[in-house]
Amino acid sequence: MFSLSDNLQYYLCTGSTDMRKGFDTLCGVVRSQMGRDPLSGEVFIFVNGSGNTIKLLHWENGGFVIYHKRLESGCFERPVFDLEQNAFQMRWSELVMMIQGLSMKNIVQRKRFSPSQASQAANNTVVKSVFY
């Protein structure tokens, strides 16, 4: 089943990638340049030098899937990241914006509930019981 969603982790390869690369060579880039495991179920994002082609590599049950898109005009805007990094973790919403051609500059993420934040707050809260 082809499926990408917000419950997966996404990693952008910070360098430019030759789009002639296929499954095995992209797996090599994930291991050697990004320092990640291609079999982890994470999604790995590659963009070519001119920025008009993107590939996503994802391990699904039983095999790899490559999603490939080439723009006929324009280019994909990459997020701002530290140039020393080999892999930049992105959110699903950032990937969607990138593919849809929406600018990621001046993005303001509104506060949202997160179960992990709620459990952290619960662990930090001291509950006092009073018995009468």
pLDDT (tens digit per residue) in 35-51:
999 999 999 999 999 99
pLDDT (tens digit per residue) in 50-70:
999 999 999 998 999 999 999
Residue ranges covered by each domain of the chain: 10-105
Identify the burial level of 29 via C-beta atoms within 10 angstroms of its C-beta, where 0-12 means exposed, 13-18 middle and 19 or more buried. Answer: buried
Identify the burial level of 10 via C-beta atoms within 10 angstroms of its C-beta, where 0-12 means exposed, 13-18 middle and 19 or more buried. Answer: buried
The band of 132, judged by pLDDT with boundaries at 50, 70 and 90, is very low
